[in-house]
Amino acid sequence: MITTKNIRKSFGSTQALKGISFEIQKGEIVGFLGRNGAGKTTLMRILTSYLPATSGHVTIDGKDIARDSLSARRKIGYLPETPPLYPAMTVKDYVTFAARLKDVPAKNIRKQVEKVLDECYLRNVADKTIAVLSKGYQQRAGIAQAIINDPAILILDEPTNGLDPVQIRRMRSLIQNLERERTVIISTHILSEIEQIARRVLIIKEGMIVADDAIGNLLRDEHGAACSLEDVFLRINA
């Protein structure tokens, strides 16, 4: 469903991505794991076609996103590192606005907004302005705009960043509900989160993929003994 071939990205003299290649099949839940600055956000921005790669190709359903970025964006729900929120809007108006932007057919908008407000546990704050909400609610409003047109692919950049433990748990159960039949890519540097949500992990280090495997396979050391993701991560980033 998503294929990248040798993606490179430079910002001036900084090589943020140094040749990233992978394939993600429909329905896979993949975690991008890496230290701050590893290149996760840059890679996500390229996958969502918000940023052009310096070289290399991304295809979605066999189509090069550089040639048809609009149709690629329609297939993807994206929660950027900083969600595109409008603080003065109410939650409901914001989600309705996102539905219009994403060309949800007018006759479906009301129903779709109601559904997404429920799915994202936003019902009780629907008429509050975004500015007064806690970070957990704001982050879920960001997810609501990402899923409003029911995209087949969901790309979430550190969705639990800055949330407290209760908010993290709520976010996790929200993401687990959204997984059904969707392809999900989620970035984080919180290891326990990846273990609970993703089935496959790509570990990114200094712009390169240094591990790409099913979680179950990663959690074995070279002698086949069980180890934690923290062990794997620390070994790779030592």
Site residues, ligand ADP (CB under 6 A): 11, 14, 16, 34, 36-42
Please tell me the count of residues contacting Mg ion according to CB under 5 A. Answer: 2
When asked if residue 139 is in the footprint of Mg ion (CB under 5 A), the reply is no
Burial class (CB in 10 A: 0-12, 13-18, 19+), 173: exposed
- With CB under 5 to 8 Å by kind, the binding choice for 156 among ligand ADP, Mg ion, none is none
For ligand ADP, the closer of residues 40 and 200 by Cβ is 40
- With CB under 5 to 8 Å by kind, the binding choice for 42 among ligand ADP, Mg ion, none is ligand ADP
Binding to Mg ion, residues 25-44 (CB under 5 A): 40-41
For Mg ion, the closer of residues 9 and 40 by Cβ is 40
For Mg ion, the closer of residues 40 and 170 by Cβ is 40
Radius of gyration of the chain (CA): 18
In angstroms, what is the minimal distance from the CB of 39 to ligand ADP? 4
> 145 — phi, psi (to 5°)?
-65, -30
For Mg ion, the closer of residues 43 and 76 by Cβ is 43
E strand residue ranges, the chain: 2-11, 14-24, 29-33, 55-60, 63-64, 76-79, 153-157, 183-188, 200-205, 208-214
For ligand ADP, the closer of residues 36 and 165 by Cβ is 36
In angstroms, what is the minimal distance from the CB of 162 to ligand ADP? 14
- With CB under 5 to 8 Å by kind, the binding choice for 13 among ligand ADP, Mg ion, none is none
- With CB under 5 to 8 Å by kind, the binding choice for 14 among Mg ion, ligand ADP, none is ligand ADP
Task: Return the sign of the alpha-carbon dihedral for residues 74, 40, 191, 166.
Answer: negative
In angstroms, what is the minimal distance from the CB of 38 to ligand ADP? 4
Tokens of 77: 């729900």
For ligand ADP, the closer of residues 93 and 206 by Cβ is 206
215 close to 228: Cβ distance less than 8 angstroms: no
The Cα 162–Cα 204 span in angstroms is 21
Task: Return the sign of the alpha-carbon dihedral for residues 188, 147, 76, 88.
Answer: negative
The Cα 231–Cα 214 span in angstroms is 16
Beta-sheet pairing, 76-79 with 153-157: parallel
Residue 131: alpha-carbon gap to chain centroid:
23
Closest residue to Mg ion, judged by C-beta, is 41
List residues near Mg ion by CB under 5 A: 40-41
